Structure 1
């Protein structure tokens, strides 16, 4: 069916990867191979054909976060409080990063030498990637850290303590506390200009912030349930505009044109239950919900063009080597592959926009439960 059809095409999986014995928590395609971290405490390396090439073992509890570097290194965080770095091709552990006392909730890299981690112990840590040494502890949150992002000389962190904080990356100084949300802050995004930030919360709102003053500039949304994910889409209409995409447990995805005063808004409806995952690139949006469906949207037209029938509760989504392959990890420990080859020609170039990002927190079901 073409994109002008009123009924989205439904696709079944073309291949299934089996091996994990518990739920998969994080999934990434990297340097021609697929990597999955699981609640069985292992990291697996897969060939695109479905064969498991190697099982990385070392963590004593489930893997809660994963990120990859251009240098061929994989970093995994765990419920055991440790972070490990692995040489992907040599299939060996490089360093053990010890310091956190509880679950690692988020990881992000800043250049080649620095790794940042957020944890359920309320702290953020800065690490030397070449030695595993902890260089700085950012301490101030009174509840678990839900997300982190580095922007220039600053690191931002969100927390279940209802705040977002801005820190100096060099000396760990707390510069600003963004107060306003009345419940957990689940996700946030700092805009490219470095002056504005958007956050979403379990209090059912999205807020716009001034990154220089820490003041809330606008409360943009009142959903009927938790707003759990937020992402930015650029040049959706070919006119260079910037759109903000939010996912909510009320089953609705909301879209804003943020460079036009945040006033323009559109609701994307299709999921029948909670939306928990979103992945955005160009005019394409991939969303996942508790209805066990993954939807591919054309943001230019605001329509679902394809539905991936996962048929099981799932946790994470990533793109394969080719733009027309998506992998979906499920709670039963398996990975499903979906080929968009047959539908690609009907998307008018839409699938060519699909890509991945290093901020895995936007694409995986949160390891934080409430």
Structure 2
């Protein structure tokens, strides 16, 4: 199929990983191996050939969140309220982080020594990664914490209580409460400058905030349904611009150029029902929805260049060691591998931009059902 064709190429999976007996909730490729956390309460380590190398057991309920560190440590959060750290290569548990009383909704690392967690118990906690000790509890939300992000000396948290909050990481002081959304805040992103933030909500809106004052600067164009994911793309057109990408249950992905004085918007259409996952890097956008398809988009031209035919409801997406491999986890407990090697020429170098991010907030279906 030529590069100028208007019809995106459709790809079938090249390999399937089986072993989990329930839905996979989180998936990451790390140090040459694939890791999957599941509703069967286990974390599995896979060889890229499809062989299960080890099963990490310890959680009493489903694994709801996972994050990895450059030091070779995996952190898993669970519906049992606990967080566990594992030595990936030695295949042993290192620490048990106890304190939360409900499902862990999100995890993020800040440097080597500190882990932050958000929970269905409405709290955020700061932990010592070397001891498992809870160092700080951030209390103020009146409902589920849906996401967290650390930016310098501050931690931001979003919640089902319709707010975003900004805290001092050292003493837990609540500095600002961002109010304006009228329903759950599903996702947010703090810009590199630290002065602006964008959030999306079940109230169908995207909002721009001043991180210093807490004031809403702008309400972006409304969608027709919940806006559940938000991400930033840099230098899409080679001109250094900043683009905001949002996913909505109305089946439309919306792209905004958000540079000061040069704002525009376009709709990326292709999914036939709810869009729930987006992964952005460079010019590449990977999206997934309830239509059981994963689409790969060229943001420079605003078009789908390839469709991965998953054919089953799926929950999480990540790339492999090679930029030409994508893994998709499904609700039946399996993982499908898709090889992009044969289509690489059609992407005009796009695949080389594909990468992963430590927070993985935008790439995996949240344990909070969307």
TM-score of the alignment, normalized to the shorter chain, above 0.5 = yes
Please, which runs of 5 or more residues in structure 1 have no aligned partner? none
Displacement of 1:369 in angstroms is: 2.7
Displacement of 1:282 in angstroms is: 0.1
Question: Any idea what the Cα deviations from partners look like across 1:25-67, whole Å, max 9, x if unmatched?
Answer: 0000000000000000000000000000000000000000000
Structure-2 separation of matches of 1:173 and 1:63: 30
Question: Any idea what the Cα deviations from partners look like across 1:127-150, whole Å, max 9, x if unmatched?
Answer: 000000000000000000000000
Structure-2 separation of matches of 1:201 and 1:223: 10
Structure-2 separation of matches of 1:83 and 1:90: 18
Question: Any idea what the Cα deviations from partners look like across 1:211-269, whole Å, max 9, x if unmatched?
Answer: 00000000012000000000000010011111000000000000000114463001000
Displacement of 1:3 in angstroms is: 3.3
1:327–1:338 Cα contact (<8 Å) kept: yes
Question: Any idea what the Cα deviations from partners look like across 1:266-301, whole Å, max 9, x if unmatched?
Answer: 100000000000000000000000000000000000
Displacement of 1:367 in angstroms is: 1.0
Displacement of 1:360 in angstroms is: 1.5
1:157–1:166 Cα contact (<8 Å) kept: yes
The match for 1:344 is: 344
User: Is it true that 1:286 corresponds to 2:283 in the alignment?
Assistant: no
Q: Which moved more, 1:345-354 or 1:198-207?
A: 345-354
**What is the alpha-carbon root mean square deviation over aligned residues?**
0.7
Question: Any idea what the Cα deviations from partners look like across 1:166-202, whole Å, max 9, x if unmatched?
Answer: 0000000000000000000000000000000000000
Cα distance change, pair 262–247 in 1 and its aligned pair in 2 (3 A): farther
TM-score normalized by the length of structure 2: 0.99
Question: Any idea what the Cα deviations from partners look like across 1:301-351, whole Å, max 9, x if unmatched?
Answer: 000000000000000000000000000000000000000000001211011
Displacement of 1:2 in angstroms is: 3.1
Structure-1 separation of matches of 2:291 and 2:67: 27
Structure-2 separation of matches of 1:288 and 1:79: 24
The match for 2:272 is: 272
Displacement of 1:366 in angstroms is: 1.4
Alignment partner of 2:342: what SS? helix
Alignment partner of 2:344: what SS? helix
1:196–1:210 Cα contact (<8 Å) kept: yes
Cα distance change, pair 11–249 in 1 and its aligned pair in 2 (3 A): same
Displacement of 1:152 in angstroms is: 0.1
1:29–1:320 Cα contact (<8 Å) kept: yes
Question: Which consecutive aligned stretches of 4+ in structure 1 deviate over 4 angstroms post-superposition?
Answer: none
Structure-2 separation of matches of 1:95 and 1:313: 34
- For 1:58-97, list aligned pairs within 5 A: 58-97=58-97
TM-score normalized by the length of structure 1: 0.99
Alignment partner of 1:254: what SS? strand
Displacement of 1:163 in angstroms is: 0.0
The match for 2:360 is: 360
Displacement of 1:4 in angstroms is: 1.8
Cα distance change, pair 231–101 in 1 and its aligned pair in 2 (3 A): same
1:2–1:347 Cα contact (<8 Å) kept: no
Structure-2 separation of matches of 1:300 and 1:260: 20
Alignment partner of 1:207: what SS? strand
Please, which runs of 5 or more residues in structure 2 have no aligned partner? none
